[in-house]
Structure 1
Amino acid sequence: MSIHAGQFRELRLERLGRTFGGVAALRDVSLSIAQGEFIALLGPSGCGKSTTLNILAGLLAATSGSIFLDERRIDSLRPEQRGFGMVFQNYALFPHMSVAKNIGFGLAMRGIARDEIARRVGETVALVHLQGQEHKLPGQLSGGQQQRVAIARAIIIEPPLVLMDEPLSNLDAKLRLEMRAEIKRIHQTLGATTIYVTHDQEEALSLADRIVVLKDGVVRQVGAPDALYARPDHLDVAAFMGFRNVISGTVSRQDGDLAGLTVAGGKQVSGQARGRLAMSQKAVMAVRPEDMTPSPDGPIRAKIISSEFRGREFVGFAMSEEGAALAFVSDHPLTNGARIQLAADPMRAVVFPEVS
Structure 2
Amino acid sequence: MTIHAANFRELRLDNLSRDFGTHNAVKDVSLTIKKGEFIALLGPSGCGKSTTLNLIAGLLPATGGGIWLDDRRIDPLRPEERGFGMVFQNYALFPHMSVKRNIGFGLKMRGVQKSEIERRVGEAAALVRLQGQTEKLPGQLSGGQQQRVAIARAIVVEPPLVLMDEPLSNLDAKLRLEMRAEIRRIHNTLGATTIYVTHDQEEALSLADRIVVMRDGQVRQVGGPEDLFSRPDHLDVAEFMGFRNKVAGRVASVEGEHATVTVGDAKVVGRVRGTVAPGGQAWLAIRPEDLHPAAAGGAGLKASVVSTEFRGREFVGFSRMADGTDLSFLAHDRIAPGGEVTLAADPDRVLVFGGAA
Q: TM-score, normalised by structure 1?
A: 0.96
Deviation at 1:258, TM superposition (A): 1.5
The Cα offsets for residues 238-271 of structure 1, whole Å up to 9 and x where unpaired, read as 0001242011112122222121111112x11111
Output the CA distance in 2 between the equivalents of 1:72 and 1:86.
20
| 1:225-264 mapped onto 2 (5 Å cutoff) | 225-264=225-264
Shift of 1:142: 0.9
**1:3-14, aligned counterparts within 5 Å?**
6-14=6-14
- Bigger mean CA deviation after superposition, 291-300 or 215-224: 291-300
1:116 corresponds to: 116
Task: Report the Cα distance in structure 2 between the residues aligned to 1:169 and 1:252, rounded to whole angstroms.
Answer: 45
SS of equivalent to 2:237: helix
State the match for 1:87 in structure 2: 87
* Deviation sequence 1:307-326 (CA, Å, 0-9, x none): 32222322221111222111
Corresponding residue for 1:352?
A: 353
Percent identity of paired positions between Structure 1 and Structure 2: 67
Q: Counterpart in 1 of 2:294?
A: 295
Between the aligned partners of 2:184 and 2:313, the Cα distance in structure 1 is: 28
Matched residue, 1:272: 271
Amino acid at match of 1:262: T
Aligned to 1:187: 187
1-side partners of 2:243 and 2:232: how far apart? 10
Contact (CA 8 Å) 1:17, 1:25: kept in 2 or not? yes
SS of residue matched to 2:185 = helix
The match for 1:199 is 199
CA distance in 2, matches of 1:316, 1:172: 28
CA distance in structure 2 between the partners assigned to 1:152 and 1:106 by the alignment: 11
SS at match of 2:283: strand
Aligned ranges for residues 317-332 of structure 1 at < 5 Å? 317-332=318-333
- Report if the CA contact (8 A) 1:213-1:221 is conserved: yes
Alpha-carbon distance in 2 for matches of 1:104, 1:345: 56
Specify the code of the residue in structure 1 equivalent to 2:311. Answer: R
Point out the more displaced range, 299-308 or 99-108: 299-308
- CA shift at 1:345, angstroms? 2.2
Alpha-carbon contact 2:276-2:355 (below 8 Å) kept: no
> Tell me, what secondary structure is at the counterpart of 2:347?
coil
Structure 2: gaps spanning 5 or more residues: none
CA 1:312/1:142 → structure 2, altered by over 3 Å: closer, same or farther? Answer: farther
What SS does the aligned partner of 1:351 have? strand
**SS of structure 2 residue aligned to 1:105:** helix
CA distance in 2, matches of 1:287, 1:215: 21
Tell me how far apart the structure 2 counterparts of residues 312 and 168 of structure 1 sit (CA, whole Å): 30
Q: Residue by residue, what CA displacement relative to the aligned partner does 1:258-296 show, whole Å, maximum 9, x if unpaired?
A: 21111112x111111011211122111101111111223
Hey, what's the Cα distance between the residues in 2 that align with 1:64 and 1:138?
Answer: 39
- C-alpha distance in structure 2 between counterparts of 1:137 and 1:213, whole Å: 38
| C-alpha distance in 1 between matches for 2:108 and 2:336 | 64
Match of 2:129 in 1: 129
Give SS of 2:120's match. helix
- Once the two structures are superposed, residues 132-181 of structure 1 have per-residue CA deviations (whole angstroms, 9 ceiling, x without a partner) of 11111111111111111111110111001100000011111111111111
Equivalent residue of 1:332, what SS?
Answer: coil
Once residues 124 and 146 of structure 1 are traced to their aligned partners in structure 2, the CA distance between those partners, rounded to angstroms, is 14
Q: What's 2:62 paired with?
A: 62
Contact 2:283 2:353 in 1 (8 A): yes
Q: Partner letter of residue 320 of structure 2?
A: M
Give the number of aligned pairs. 352
Between the aligned partners of 1:177 and 1:43, the Cα distance in structure 2 is 20
* In structure 2, distance between residues paired with 1:334 and 1:101: 60
TM-score by length of 2: 0.96
- Cα RMSD after superposing both structures: 1.4
CA contact (8 A) 2:305 2:317 kept: yes
| Whole-Å separation in 2 of the counterparts to 1:298 and 1:119 | 68
For the 8 Å contact 1:244–1:326, the answer to whether it is kept is no
Structure-1 separation of matches of 2:317 and 2:269: 21
Distance 2:299 2:223 in 1: 33
Partner of 2:71: 71
3-state SS of paired residue (2:327):
strand
